[in-house]
Structure 1
Amino acid sequence: MELVGPIFEMAKCMGNIACIYIDHHRKLEERMNNLQSTLDILNIRKSDVDLRIKVELQWGKVVKEEVEKWLQDVEKINDEVQIVRQKIQVCPYFSRATLSKHVAQKIKEVEKINERGSYPEPLVIDRPLTSGVRLQIGHLEGEISIKEKIWGHLMGDVVGMIGICGMGGIGKTTIMKHINNQLLKVPRFDKVIWVTVSKELNIVKLQRDIASAMNEQLPEHELERVEALMEILEEKRYVLILDDVWVRFSLMEVGIPEPSFQNGSKLVLTSRSIEVCTSMGCEVVKVQPLSKVESRNLFLKNVGHGVLNVPTLEPILNCIIDECAGLPLAIVTIAGSMKGVYDAREWRNALEELRQRVRSVKGTNIEIFEQLKFSYDRLKDSKIQNCFLYCSLYPEDWEIPRNELIKYWIDEGLIHEFGSRQVMCDRGHAILNSLENNCLLERVVNGERVKMHDVLRDMALYIKSTVGSRFMVKAGMQLRELPSEQEWTDDLEKISLMHNFISEIPTSMSPKCPIVSTLFLQSNQSLKEIPGSFFEHMHGLNILDLSFTGIMDLPNSISNLKNLTALLLQGCENLRYLPSLAKLVALKKLDLRDTSIEEIPQGIDKLVNLTYLDLYSKSLEELPTGILPKLSRLQYLVADRESTTLKLKGEEAGGLKKLETICGRFQELQEFNTYMKSTQGKRLTSYVLAVGQPQGYFWLKSNFVKDVILSECEVGGEAPILLPNDLRCMKICECHNMKSLSDISFFQRNETELRECEVMDCKGIACVLDLLSSPLPCSPLQNLEKLLLSGLDKLFTLVKAQEVATASTLYAPTSPGIFSRLKSFHIHKCSKIKKLFSIDLLRDLQNLERIEVKSCGLLEEIIASEEEEKRSTDHATMTFCLPKLRELALQQLPRLKMICSKHGVMICDSLSRIEVIKCPKLKRIPLYIPLHDNGQPSPPPSLKEIRIYPKEWLESIEWDHPNAKNVLLALMKYREKHSWQAIRSDI
């Protein structure tokens, strides 16, 4: 009997464990769907952050380190979720519970990263006053004596010009990057300038790059340019680092003053040629190969120390390190290709391959290429190898956008057609990750771009030269003329002339390139015309990119390129006409974005293999009926953004069953509903769908994720609208028959995925939500993060909860969860509203980060004071906590009397900025001000500034503490003549 109790407890415990196990097992699919939804939300936020960075990032600014770290974490979690997806596909039945628990942990990780990604303040900051650019650096193994020697020359007064010499891949650039960053920490120099010169020296580009680093511009005339650069540099004590110099040049011809003891400046060159350095008068510092110990340390750092746990591997590993001959680049790439390999047989085979390829060649460069080619060969998959080689088509040292590169890979057929474009994009990112992990590409710019080491680029071009077909790459070389026709040989497979200044193609030129498959002429903005004979002997052409050129029309010979699969014309603003495309039946991608074509190209209905079509053109007037049904394979369609006549038919668009991305407008609500009915059960990857008249403002601000725009159309009531279940962004403009969002059935659901909502110039809107007409257990807006209300003349309350005698007191307890995730609230030009937030509604706004109230003529109170007084019978201080609020902006509110009642205090521990502009009747800022032990006030630690206008308003403010004004005075700024000035201490 004594054993019964313990046995029972043990059984109970085992039962609990079994229940937990079964629960994990059963919820795998549900949790995976939740993980994907949470990740989608995170990636939407990342897209917003990327867009903001592009807008905010100007000269003299750098992205904040915390933002860079966050972007890296987003990339990392995306990769980890991709691994989870792969595991699920091969997961044994009895491992589902463990994997389900892992997915639940990932959901929490994604949510935490998402929470960190809220940045109401600018994402960029001014560069440090040390006036240099901090460079992204890798691990520097060894080279300590070399680095110290260079540093001694820089800090000394004897040597003014230093030449760092050594073979390609020896580590010259890495050493100088470390020194560059170290120089930024010392006050000896006014400016540290880094310029990459590369193989093809262009004096004008060199001059402009130096001037740009000094935040200066140079005149166009040559002599004036030299003189101006000389004057700019003479004013500073600088270190000028010229990386990768191949040929000697005259400092005086460029405009670089020769460094001397008098001016205190220094010049550093890195070059593969000792002759270049000596001929320019440099003190030569030669970079030697790594020692055996240093080589071993670097190899183990990149391959992982786990290989030492397999005793049979160490001798083989040492032999492979010997074959690398102390070359850091070879060590890193070869180690990267062997990472995760623990089979001694595979290591022996790798060693034998490496020995054979190195011993079979002579010549320093070729020997290096063969060492590096070992890592290329280990990729095994020929398509991944070709993806790597493809990167060599870009200019040397180019930072290549990941998404752009993947699009090219898809166009080229280097990524298997999986049916879904999204799957192909995911595969592209996986390939890029593989190339990065094998150290064949370097990740740069927050992981959004990749870079190819110049030696690896040379190796890629060397590989192509040994296989029977070649790449002709003269990208970014400042060319003003096309290469001569003799250079266009019949063994050319791909030709890249992108990012040059080519302005003309000779009218008689007709290159005989029968196997050329890719021709890149993009970003030659001066190129205005292509002769008809140019394409006559390029019948094998698959990819033709003329984007961002100045061409005005295309020759008729384009029509005969029957093998063409991608015709890319984005940004050809002068292009008005295309010849017939009827014969281009192989065409899969046609990009006419930002061209000036005025009509759909003839024969487009014959392009039955088309999967990608971008027709965004401000001049395009009509999309003829009957074309879309013939393009049944379309996966990506951008049909319109601003045009008043280009519109979609619901039935035609709905018939595109393979569509994943769509951007277009439906003239009538009925057409939109027809389209939505045809897509029920299908989730698009991204969309921007507009109904009614075009609104350029909304298009420009569209996230192009999952947006719907309603403009000048009747919705609600007897005019129902079918909206996507996964809608993320809703924009409504001039829909005057609506009285609230509750008129739309979409907002009568318990919960939606909506993250952003903008309602503008809707004359009938009286409230945002009407809970009387559709009482819900929870709010359809509980996931909303941004709400903008503008030009709503009848709006008198945000949430209508119960009928009362007067509209001004309409504040009953609301449905729980309304606006509970709201971060940004904007209300502009709503002339009828008098009171903004009820106390109950305020309690849901704990995630609010920004409040912006502008030009609301009758607004008297931000937080309803009548409610405060009713609830606080003894007139005790009532506190309101908005813990995440960072910015409060109040502008042009002539009747605003109070933010809250005279007994109310706002506790906002994150508040950094207050703005009060033209609010003459506001007499109190109810901000909680902490007190020192002696009872004197101190400014809230997070508060950085209080902006006011006019400055006289400051004199009328009543403060809760007599010394509060003096404490906050240093934070006060006022506006005068459209600029902000710090208030002087005598005010």
Structure 2
Amino acid sequence: MGSVCSVSISTEDIAGRCCDCTAARANYICKLQENRVTLRTELQKLRELRNDVKRKVDVAERQQMKRLDQVQGWLSRVEAMETEVTQLIGDDAENIEEKRFCGSCYPKHCFSSYTLGKKVVRKLQQVAALMSDGRFEVVADVVPPAAVEEIPSGTTVGLESTFDRVWRCLEEEHVGIIGLYGLGGVGKTTLLTQINNHFLETSHNFDVVIWVLVSKTPNLDEVQNAIWEKVGFCDDKWKSKSRHLKAKDIWKALSEKRFVMLLDDLWEQMDLLDVGIPLPDRQNKSKLIFTTRSLDLCGEMGAQKKIEVKSLAWKDSWDLFQKYVGEDTLNSDPEIPELAEIVARECCGLPLVIITIGRAMASKVTPQDWKHAIRVLQTSASKFPGMGDPVYPRLKYSYDSLPTKVVQSCFLYCSLFPEDVSIDKEDLIWKWICEGFLDESDDMVGAINQGFNIISTLIHACLLEEPLDNGYVKLHDVIRDMALWITGEMGEMKGKFLVQTRAGLTQAPEFVKWTTAERISLMDNQIEKLTGSPTCPNLSTLLLDSNRDLQMISNGFFQFMPNLRVLSLNDTKIVELPSDISNSVSLQYLDLSSTNIKKLPVEIKNLVKLKRLELSNTSELSSIPRGLISSLSMLQIINLFSCGFHEPDGNESLVEELESLKYLIDLRITIVSASVFERFLSSRKLRSCTHEICLRIFKGSISLNVSSLENIKHLNSFAMKHCDTLIKFDWAETGKETVEYCNLNPRVKCFDSLETVTIFKCRMLKNLTWLIFAPNLKYLQITDCEQMEEVIGKGVEDGGNLSPFTNLAIVGLFFLPQLKSVYWNPLPFLYLRDISVFNCPKLKKLPLNSNSARERKVTIEGEEEWWNELEWEDEATLNTFLPNFQAT
């Protein structure tokens, strides 16, 4: 027999363990009902936590963030747990409980209760674990940029073969850098756009495709920022790094990727290492494609492939030309189609030329017009530097076709402004007037209208562009180059323009270049001071705007500028003007706005021809010598809006001096006392020519009469700043201090010209209900008004069918702790673009519904907490505006 294994266990141990086991099992059964109730309660708590987490996730995802994987996993587990618990404590569990408590506790029922009780306890433990795991501090993260981002592009003509050639080069291992060169306007940017977007349509092995616009005067910091936005996190902290440290970060990120770098509009050699771009080679298999107008630059950049973007073939040229001339014109005379073919061939297949001349000829419906065009195009043999023969001489045809020398001069004047800058129409026209281009005689309004007519002529000739905001115009960079070529190379114009904008200048060009110049523009540089006495007998315009380091102009600088007519120092840090400004006796336009000017020299009295004086946003201006303004008897525009100047008498003497100006037609003024405001309102002359009013630092309680403001017919902009005491608006007919708006006719357009309203630190102001009478209001900003409760009060609801703010484009509401309402009903905002709200905790509803924006994209900016507590008209309204919310 085999050996016997003996195990000794005491009877007490067995009994104890059995009792424990029995007690535990009994608890499963006895506490089943209690545990089931507890499980149901805990499940509800888990659901509530799940809902809180999902709400945070939803808010984050509205801001284009991506939920964390651990959050998604937890939500999935909660969903599964919810299903399991529901099944566990459903009807079957209820039946078992009923039988047990009715005395039908047979062994099989006891066993079922025990099994169920054990599962319930286990689920309680699992729910508790899920509750613990669901306390997320962060639920989502910033979504990294897409590997390829689509770039908007119009229809293209005739680039297919060049595109195919470039794409084949991308597949060649030995080709790392590709240079696309060609004439301005030939379609290089369009081709590069096609290449970028094709990466979205086809499979490839690249990790990221990066598009960067370089432009003629490259800003390497902006180039680095554009790259880092694709491969890193480009916040303000990173932007403040030195270029060297940025380059190191970019180099490290790109070295770990297979990238395609697309650099558009390269004008000079760029050191890739200085930016941080690894040199594409066989090892990293990355690619760099750039566009330029210079074949030489392709060599300097080390391009293994230099591909010319050529002009269009004849068929494509003719198709494009016909499109812009139009069938009606081509069919207007039997001779025209044949003549049109000759004109189209003279365009040499350059898309920009085809479009420009095609548009110019679209209204030419006689054979004589077309024959004249052919003669001009064929006999224009002028050359232009660096761009090849076919471009500027043919583009110049649009310039030559302008109706008068005056219109041509006005066009060339536009080239004084930096590339891609938006030019204010009215400011441009006044410069033309002061230059003497426009015939003002005794009719200044007629001269201004003439200026607008010239702008329209230039837009229709495709020599100017009109952005979305029709108060501005832009000059296409190729057209601007053509204008500078005309002024720099063409006969009598040669040497008369000196234009070095955005050239990185820290000091002025040598004065020898100033001698023959009639117009000089050094805008947007870093010039720190102007010293010396340049001899400029013919200089009529000097533009120094946006030299933000310019603090000093030495005495004697203006000594030899007797014919200077336009001087602009806008957005510089000039503290004072030299006294020899008095030598510029021909000066008609002087712009000192947004400078640090502290006082005006008394010598300005000698500028008796001055027509326009700009002093807006000069917060440091402390004094204007008495009698100075009245001595400038030819002044027609004076801008003192948001100006720091104020005198102990509340500048009442200034009002008297302004009244003495015989030719004043445009006044923008800051008023700092109630008495001066009353004095101002009593002047019919000043009311009739005022366009902007800023009320600032009023002392004492006053009552502003709305009907008096109504008499300022041309009021375009109204501001109130630092008016801490009680400001009331009343209506003359009521005889009361508060407005009885319900007695008024809301259809009366009291402030028909008012477009901009700015309210800043008016602590006693409770509403701006009078704005119902400003139907053309476009910009509204209210900041730091402690008692502001509503923008338009509900007291006007009986005044008829109101629809204020129809033309409102931008509204800003900041630091308004009591603000509860903008308007009590949803409004149709036909032009609304942006709503910004910050620190307005009681504003729970905006006057919006799903039809308010009429399919326009309206950006709403504000704090997340405020946004989450907003009340909406309905679900459709929330869905309409939800995608455009931006957290501040």
Shared fold (TM-score greater than 0.5)? yes
Distance 1:583 1:574, change over 3 A: closer
Q: Contact 1:621 / 1:646 at 8 angstroms: preserved in 2? A: no
- SS in structure 2 of the partner of residue 392 of structure 1: helix
Q: Using the alignment, how far apart are the partners of 2:540 and 2:181 within structure 1?
A: 39
Q: Is 1:190 aligned with 2:208? A: yes
Q: Contact 1:169 / 1:455 at 8 angstroms: preserved in 2? A: yes
Q: Using the alignment, how far apart are the partners of 2:368 and 2:425 within structure 1?
A: 36
Q: Could you tell me which residue of structure 1 aligns to residue 25 of structure 2? A: none
| Higher normalized helix content (fraction of residues) | 2
**Using CA pairs below 8 Å that are at least 6 residues apart, which structure has the higher relative contact order?**
2
Q: Contact 1:219 / 1:225 at 8 angstroms: preserved in 2? A: no
Superposed, 1:835-914 pairs within 5 Å as: 884=850
Q: Could you tell me which residue of structure 2 aligns to residue 80 of structure 1? A: none
AA in 2 matched with 1:324:
C
Q: Using the alignment, how far apart are the partners of 1:407 and 1:510 within structure 2?
A: 27
- SS in structure 1 of the partner of residue 692 of structure 2: strand
Q: Is 1:741 aligned with 2:739? A: yes
Superposed, 1:258-657 pairs within 5 Å as: 258-282=279-303, 283-309=305-331, 310-358=333-381, 365=388, 367-400=390-423, 402=425, 405-417=428-440, 428-444=451-467, 450-465=473-488, 466-469=490-493, 470-489=496-515, 491-505=516-530, 507=531, 509-573=532-596, 575-595=598-618, 596-601=620-625, 603-617=628-642, 619-622=644-647, 623-625=651-653, 626-640=656-670, 649-650=679-680, 653-656=683-686
- How far off is 1:620 after superposition? 1.1
Comparing 386-395 with 440-449, greater Cα deviation is found at 440-449
Comparing 157-166 with 221-230, greater Cα deviation is found at 221-230
User: Which runs of no fewer than 5 residues in structure 1 stay unpaired?
Assistant: 1-59, 62-125, 698-710, 724-734, 770-778, 801-813, 863-880, 888-909, 929-939, 948-970, 974-978, 981-987
- How far off is 1:403 after superposition? 5.5
Q: Contact 1:333 / 1:438 at 8 angstroms: preserved in 2? A: yes
- SS in structure 2 of the partner of residue 532 of structure 1: coil
Q: Contact 1:754 / 1:784 at 8 angstroms: preserved in 2? A: no
Q: Using the alignment, how far apart are the partners of 2:476 and 2:863 within structure 1?
A: 49
Q: Contact 2:766 / 2:787 at 8 angstroms: preserved in 1? A: no
- How far off is 1:299 after superposition? 1.4
- How far off is 1:427 after superposition? 5.2
AA in 2 matched with 1:741:
V
- How far off is 1:749 after superposition? 3.8
- SS in structure 1 of the partner of residue 622 of structure 2: coil
Distance 1:360 1:712, change over 3 A: closer
Q: Using the alignment, how far apart are the partners of 1:453 and 1:662 within structure 2?
A: 32
Distance 1:766 1:425, change over 3 A: closer
AA in 2 matched with 1:633:
Y
Comparing 281-290 with 434-443, greater Cα deviation is found at 434-443
AA in 1 matched with 2:251:
M
Q: Using the alignment, how far apart are the partners of 1:218 and 1:403 within structure 2?
A: 36
Q: Choose which of 268, 278, 293 in structure 2 pairs with 1:257.
A: 278
Q: Is 1:712 aligned with 2:726? A: yes
Comparing 781-790 with 146-155, greater Cα deviation is found at 781-790
Q: Could you tell me which residue of structure 2 aligns to residue 168 of structure 1? A: 184
Q: Using the alignment, how far apart are the partners of 2:295 and 2:781 within structure 1?
A: 63
Distance 1:351 1:270, change over 3 A: same
Q: Contact 1:621 / 1:643 at 8 angstroms: preserved in 2? A: no
- SS in structure 2 of the partner of residue 196 of structure 1: strand
AA in 1 matched with 2:330:
L
Residues 138-164 of structure 1 show CA distances to partners (whole Å, capped at 9, x for unaligned) of 553212111222234346655321101
Comparing 477-486 with 264-273, greater Cα deviation is found at 264-273
Distance 1:480 1:437, change over 3 A: same
Distance 1:539 1:233, change over 3 A: farther
- What is the aligned residue count? 699
Q: Contact 2:184 / 2:387 at 8 angstroms: preserved in 1? A: no
Q: Using the alignment, how far apart are the partners of 1:458 and 1:493 within structure 2?
A: 19
- SS in structure 1 of the partner of residue 165 of structure 2: helix
Q: Could you tell me which residue of structure 1 aligns to residue 42 of structure 2? A: none
Q: Using the alignment, how far apart are the partners of 1:266 and 1:257 within structure 2?
A: 10
Residues 28-78 of structure 1 show CA distances to partners (whole Å, capped at 9, x for unaligned) of xxxxxxxxxxxxxxxxxxxxxxxxxxxxxxxx99xxxxxxxxxxxxxxxxx
AA in 2 matched with 1:193:
W
Q: Could you tell me which residue of structure 2 aligns to residue 892 of structure 1? A: none
Q: Contact 2:701 / 2:726 at 8 angstroms: preserved in 1? A: no
Q: Contact 1:629 / 1:652 at 8 angstroms: preserved in 2? A: no
Distance 1:471 1:636, change over 3 A: same
Q: Using the alignment, how far apart are the partners of 2:665 and 2:343 within structure 1?
A: 47
- SS in structure 1 of the partner of residue 370 of structure 2: helix
Q: Contact 1:558 / 1:579 at 8 angstroms: preserved in 2? A: no
Q: Using the alignment, how far apart are the partners of 1:794 and 1:513 within structure 2?
A: 58
Q: Contact 1:647 / 1:664 at 8 angstroms: preserved in 2? A: no
- SS in structure 1 of the partner of residue 413 of structure 2: helix
- SS in structure 2 of the partner of residue 580 of structure 1: helix
- How far off is 1:619 after superposition? 3.1
Distance 1:184 1:498, change over 3 A: farther
Q: Contact 2:703 / 2:728 at 8 angstroms: preserved in 1? A: no
Q: Contact 1:654 / 1:675 at 8 angstroms: preserved in 2? A: no
User: Which runs of no fewer than 5 residues in structure 2 stay unpaired?
Assistant: 1-62, 65-141
Distance 1:468 1:534, change over 3 A: farther
Comparing 282-291 with 237-246, greater Cα deviation is found at 237-246
Distance 1:183 1:415, change over 3 A: farther
Residues 618-677 of structure 1 show CA distances to partners (whole Å, capped at 9, x for unaligned) of 531133522112223222222217789975723674223761513144979999779949
Distance 1:386 1:173, change over 3 A: farther
- SS in structure 1 of the partner of residue 288 of structure 2: strand
Q: Contact 2:613 / 2:638 at 8 angstroms: preserved in 1? A: yes
Q: Using the alignment, how far apart are the partners of 2:257 and 2:428 within structure 1?
A: 40
Structure 1 vs Structure 2 CA RMSD: 5.4
- SS in structure 1 of the partner of residue 686 of structure 2: coil
- How far off is 1:425 after superposition? 5.9
- How far off is 1:766 after superposition? 13
Percent identity for Structure 1 against Structure 2: 27
Q: Could you tell me which residue of structure 2 aligns to residue 683 of structure 1? A: 713
- How far off is 1:267 after superposition? 1.6
- How far off is 1:689 after superposition? 7.5
Distance 1:164 1:419, change over 3 A: farther
Q: Using the alignment, how far apart are the partners of 1:170 and 1:238 within structure 2?
A: 27
Q: Contact 2:722 / 2:762 at 8 angstroms: preserved in 1? A: no
Q: Contact 1:211 / 1:218 at 8 angstroms: preserved in 2? A: no
AA in 2 matched with 1:748:
L
- How far off is 1:531 after superposition? 1.3
AA in 2 matched with 1:500:
N
Superposed, 1:204-243 pairs within 5 Å as: 207=224, 215=234, 217=238, 223-234=244-255, 237-243=258-264
Q: Using the alignment, how far apart are the partners of 1:526 and 1:854 within structure 2?
A: 37
Distance 1:367 1:754, change over 3 A: same
Residues 102-147 of structure 1 show CA distances to partners (whole Å, capped at 9, x for unaligned) of xxxxxxxxxxxxxxxxxxxxxxxx9994377765655532121112
Superposed, 1:751-830 pairs within 5 Å as: 751-753=747-749, 791=787, 798-799=794-795, 815=798, 817=800, 819=802
- How far off is 1:606 after superposition? 1.1
Q: Using the alignment, how far apart are the partners of 2:774 and 2:499 within structure 1?
A: 54
Q: Is 1:149 aligned with 2:165? A: yes
Residues 700-744 of structure 1 show CA distances to partners (whole Å, capped at 9, x for unaligned) of xxxxxxxxxxx735665xxx6489xxxxxxxxxxx9x74x521x7
AA in 1 matched with 2:292:
S
Choose 1 or 2 for highest CA Rg: 2
